[in-house]
Amino acid sequence: MRIAIVATNAWPIPTPVHTGDVVILDLAIALDKLGHDVTLFAPSGTRFHKVRETPCHQGTGHPTPAECEKVTWTHYKHELLSFDVVHDFSTEKTVAQEMLNLGRENVISTMLGGNWSKPSPAGNVCVWSHAMRQRALRGETDYWGTGSPDLAGPPFNPIRDAHVVYGGVDTGFYALPDWSTTPKEDFVLWMNRWHPAKGYREAIQMAKGYGTRLVMAGLRPEDNRQPYERACAEEALEMADGKVEFVWLPKDDGHHEAKRELYQRARCLLYPVQFQEPFGLSMVEAMACGTYVVGFGLGSVPEVVGTRGGIVVTPGNLEALARACEAPFDDSGVREYAVKNFSREAMARRYLEQYALVTNGVTWGTVVQTPWMKNP
């Protein structure tokens, strides 16, 4: 099958530091290994053997995501129309919508975030979790109902329907260590981007209030891209007041190796999110390294952790969170659970099921096409 994956995002993939965009590259690699002919439409520098270069704003906001997508469609329109399937991961889903407007229904889109602002959302949409699907169909943001009115925002245009395809990670890279050289240690790991939604405040409050040995890992304040991220990292240092250990991750290719080692060494990964998490790749990365997850039951967290991946507690209950971090837990099946459900190969096979649907004329949530829209 000839597959086009459109990812006109802000940065080449993978980025020097962790973002959800890496799942796009992992999908392309897995599909390629399964014998499919895959082309990535992505920014220059993306590490895949077949790339069509697209404009990107490198975090500056200029050109805008919509402008990048329009240029991509204009420049590559005829080639995109020749593929068996086009899979659009971009922000505005311009390519997917243009193809649907032409009556070409061999296209799907994946929402990486949990909101949708387009007046006429593209059809054949996939999302990362059942929890995310339920919110998208109601038109609710990732912050809806979390006690964060400043972040919740107004409802957006609900999508008509969506299929669930879980994200996947490279479980060959995120793997069990040699326990003789990397033994488990008695610390709880918080590792995420510096944002209140990721629960760094709650993690520090728990550690100080209940005596938990907490290691917080992230970029140094000055290494963060956005001013608000730098401010959050500085706030975390001030809040910790010397009672929390900090590990600063390198901002280069060693970033992912450093993350993996921390996952492998930690007793558990702490995931006290303050929003409706769409998926949570770091939970899967930790589980693939044999480390269970302890988190608040918001968004996809209960769904991804399941019954084998860790412990989920009532949101906001720091005492329960601390007890769960110290509770005995049989982690012997954690990696197997992660590989079975969240490897990049499992993700690729699930997407191939979606591709088979649209190539056989099965669509979902699409706008009713008028006759003039059917003309290519």
The Cβ of residue 271 has, within 10 Å, a number of other Cβ atoms equal to 28
- Domain range spanning residue 123? 2-168+344-374
The pTM assigned to this predicted structure is 0.92
Q: Specify whether 134 is located in the same domain as 163.
A: yes
Give the pLDDT confidence score for residue 372 in this predicted structure: 36
Does one domain contain both 292 and 152? Answer: no
Distance CA 2, CA 39 (A): 8
Q: Are 329 and 366 members of one domain?
A: no
In a domain, 277, yes or no: yes
182 assigned to some structural domain:
no
Sign of the dihedral defined by the CA atoms of residues 268, 270, 276, 277, in that order: negative
If asked whether residues 196 and 223 sit together in one domain, one would say: yes
- One domain for residues 108 and 75: yes
Do 83 and 157 have their domain in common?
yes
User: Do 364 and 331 belong together in one domain?
Assistant: no
The CATH number of whichever domain residue 255 belongs to comes to: 3.40.50.2000
What is the pLDDT at residue 114? Answer: 64
Query: What pLDDT is recorded for position 294?
Result: 98
Local confidence pLDDT in tens for the 376 residues of the chain: 999 999 987 788 887 666 678 999 999 999 999 999 999 999 988 999 999 999 877 666 678 888 899 999 999 999 999 999 999 999 888 999 999 999 999 999 999 876 666 666 678 999 999 999 998 888 888 877 666 655 656 667 788 899 999 999 999 999 999 988 888 999 999 999 999 999 999 999 999 999 999 999 999 999 988 899 999 999 999 999 999 999 999 988 788 999 999 999 999 999 999 999 999 999 999 999 999 999 999 999 999 999 999 999 999 999 999 999 999 998 889 999 999 999 999 999 999 999 999 999 999 987 544 333 333 3
pLDDT for position 370: 38
Q: What is the pLDDT of residue 75?
A: 96
Strand pairing partners for 52? 41
Does some domain include residue 183?
no
- The tally of domains found in the chain comes to 2
